Amino acid sequence: MNETTHKAAVVAVVGATGAVGVELLRCLEQRKFPLAELRLFASARSAGKSLTFRGERLALRELREDSFEGVTLALFSAGAATSRRFAPLAVQAGATVIDNSSAFRMDPAVPLVVPEINPESLRGHRGIIANPNCCAIISITPLWPVHRRNRIVRLQLATYQAASGAGAAAMEELRESTRAYLEGRAHAPRVLPHPYAFNLFSHNTRIDPLTGYNDEETKVIHETRKIFGDSAIRVSATCVRVPVLRAHSVAVNFECERPIAPQEVRDLLRAAPGVELVDDAERNYFPMPMDASGRDAILVGRIRSDLSDPSGRSISLFVAGDQLLKGAALNAVQIAEVLRAQE
């Protein structure tokens, strides 16, 4: 860890052993993020173990209130309760926090950032920056070039969310339950509330008794408005967990202020950062989670006019993106890169 440029940072990764934490380390390594020092934090039961980074073994430390002395950048991915407790302490110690939980996303004083959409909102931050919900990032990043050209006034989403969104334990539960199902053995779910193999179910978050929307759907609705800076956009979402190991997919339907043609959308997306057009109708080849897994780009295709809207203002499309990468770790590291560039 001897990269000591004038912008090299002392970086702490909180939740380093989780599914997103592992990807944070990989993104920092692959993108050659300048580091003066890297500190890895996890729960007490992981303290003393180690992880490999850039060919070195780094010891895991137990997260404590005094863990952030000398840290300049803290990447949090350990859940909202941990973030609420420790992120303010990190800021008090002089660190900038990029938080992957829901703890601060809707705080008006905290920027909620997708670098391809609203990097300017980082200026003037007060120490904490929120990483958006994975489905919000994957759904709306491809829509931003459209929104800038022809304002989107209504957005409807149906998600197909992989086990990766619920962490490493849910991914293992999908593996185990699939093996059991194929072998004819019973498998009682422990991580998720319903049998996972060869099944799908409504996202396993609390349902608001007043609206009927679950917490995941509500996050997507509110976060879309905040990231786009458009409180008037009408958003509806249905979030579903599917038996896919990694990478979320979303069926998207949006309505613009003015008529818009599918080819115009393709042209905009072909040049959009962070997006890859996968729209081969002749071969019936469109975005799939197996192609999106392990990829930085969000795949987008099946771009077509919504035939139920005779005004010609509505488009349907399909996207797939790696929840652990652009939906979480990669987006956080990209935020850190923008912060460096703004120094």
Pairing of strands 314-321, 298-305: antiparallel
Pairing of strands 298-305, 248-256: unpaired
Distance CA 104, CA 83 (A): 9
Q: Is 134 a catalytic residue?
A: yes
Q: Which of 134, 135, 239, 256 is catalytic?
A: 134
Q: Which of 125, 147, 203, 248 is catalytic?
A: 248
**Which tokens is 102 given?**
């829901």
Q: Around Cβ 7, how many Cβ atoms within 10 Å?
A: 14
Dihedral pair phi/psi, residue 309, rounded to 5°: -115, 100
For residue 130, what are the β-bridge partners? Answer: 99, 112
Q: Is 248 a catalytic residue?
A: yes
Residues in contact with 140: Cβ distance below 8 Å, sequence separation at least 6, in sequence order: 114, 117, 155, 224, 227, 228
Distance CA 35, CA 261 (A): 46
Q: Are 26 and 329 in contact (CB under 8 A)?
A: yes
H or E element: which one contains 319? strand 314-321
CA dihedral (170, 171, 177, 178) positive or negative: positive
Q: Which of 278, 290, 193, 188 is nearest to 245 (CA)?
A: 290
Instruction: Give the residue numbers annotated as catalytic, written as ranges.
Output: 134, 248
